[in-house]
Amino acid sequence: MTILEDARGVIAQEPICDACVGRPFADRSFGLTNAERGKALRVSLALADDEPYEPGEETCWVCEGRCAEFEGWANRAANELSRIEFATYQVGTRVTPLIEENEKLLREDAGLDPEAGELFKSEFNREVGKRVGAKLDAEVDFERPDVVALLDLESERVDIQINPAFVYGRYRKLERGIPQTEWPCRECGGSGYRDGEACEYCDGAGYMYEDSVEELVAPAIREAMDGADATFHGAGREDVDARMLGEGRPFVVEVTNPRTRSPDVAALRAEINDRADGRVEVRDFALATYEMVERVKELAASKTYRAEVEFAEPVSAADLDDALDDLRGATIHQDTPERVSHRRADLTRTREVYGIDAETASDGPHREAAIEVHGEGGLYIKELLHGDGGRTEPSLAGLLEVGVEVRALDVTGVEGEEETFADPAYLREDASGPE
């Protein structure tokens, strides 16, 4: 059948508006709106049948007159969105069950494929969406928009969904005894109470430590973006008693329901550093994308550490050098350390030692040394040095056959990610780069 013959079967189901006439044929002609397409079909049939063109005036039974409401819904959506800062948007529509059923009946009764052309929902999204974009000078994004305007035709509401915003940075932890994220008390589950009384384990605080890097960084970002909540994502983590020095550890803060998406990152960085008062320092701030979160969480960069160690017995310079030679470039087999076995599966992991050296105060014998280790991501450094009762093989203690105590540990470098984190694919288009 020709398009005009098919159109005759649709138009016969009056009262029907031009948009609902044109919609089943959206995939058979291009460059027109459905309303323009429907009107053209009416005119063409009128000419072919030598009949006057008489557009209907009654309310369309298919869309219930909704195709005449594009502009009104666009105004309502634009009004709601104008209260929020955003650059990209999308429009979605919740269609009434009756309109969905009417769509099926129209095609059925006209003898058309049930999936022919375009569905009402798609047309409503597009026609309202392009009007919203024009009113607010915004760009549509079908992948990951800043905001989504949800048009609920049944409840006559416009609901705004604000997608998360992201800030990338690096932190340096300059004081020991600060965890990366909040650490709820294991005894009271974070409530601060046990058996109706203040938990003795955490002194009723609910947390094992008063502050965390997360608490010193994330709240200021949430406030600056006027968001509901903020989640801290770090590229790995150091031990609570270890400092994070050097260039710092990459992180992303994810802010939910942000009403502001473009804070002054330089001012925000200065505010966080001021609040942290020398305990934590942030740098390299930039507005980021969702992809940056995935990159940070999946990062397997190598790390460099500096450990202050004490030997249970004096160690000769030759023995220490031999042990370091054996560890340099070695593959290390590590069972899950005793200290984290309560929260991690008991597995055997293999990790590489890329480099290891020692600084000592004299030519020996030595009771103390500063050990610098460059290792694969996930290598447990303390256990590499003290052996963890044989759960790490080989280890410095095992090779020396002398007890090794790690008195202090610092992370001095997180290597291998610099070029990736500067990649524009992970930064917002309006970001000027790390600040």
The stretch 204-215 carries a mean pLDDT of: 80
Tokens 């609570």 belong to: 240
Look at residue 191 in the predicted model and tell me its pLDDT: 74
Catalytic residue among 146, 239, 284, 319: 239
211 is catalytic: no
Report the distance separating Cα 264 and Cα 262, nearest Å.
7
Residue 417 banded pLDDT, cuts 50, 70, 90: low
Residue 127: its pLDDT value, please?
A: 97
User: Domains in the chain, ordered, with CATH?
Assistant: 3-162 (3.30.2300.10), 165-300 (3.30.70.2510), 302-415 (3.30.70.3190)
For residues 305 and 383, give the distance between their C-alpha atoms in angstroms, rounded to a whole number: 13
Residue with the larger pLDDT of the pair 150 and 430 = 150
- The verdict on pTM exceeding 0.75 is yes
Contact 282, 273 (CB under 8 A): yes
Instruction: Give 434's pLDDT tier (boundaries 50, 70, 90).
Output: low
Per residue in 1-33, pLDDT (tens digit) is 688 888 899 999 999 999 999 999 999 888 899
State the angle between helix axes of 34-48 and 3-11 in degrees (0 to 180), rounded to the nearest 10: 100
Q: What is the pLDDT of residues 340-388, one digit of tens each?
A: 766 667 789 999 999 999 999 887 799 999 999 999 988 999 999 999 9
Strands 139-140 and 197-198, sheet pairing: unpaired
For the chain, give the percent of residues with pLDDT over 90. 69
Mean pLDDT of the chain: 90
Q: How many residues does the chain have?
A: 435
**Segment 108-148, tens digit of pLDDT:** 999 998 888 999 999 999 999 999 999 999 999 999 999 99
Q: What is the pLDDT of residue 427?
A: 66
Residue-level pLDDT at 315: 95
Which pLDDT score, from 0 to 100, does residue 377 have?
87
Q: Got the DSSP string for 187-212?
A: TTTTSSEETTEE-TTTTTSSBSSS--
State the pLDDT at residue 200. 72
* Alpha helices (H) along 299-390: 317-327, 381-386
Cβ proximity of 238 and 213 under 8 Å: no
User: Residue 123 has what pLDDT?
Assistant: 97
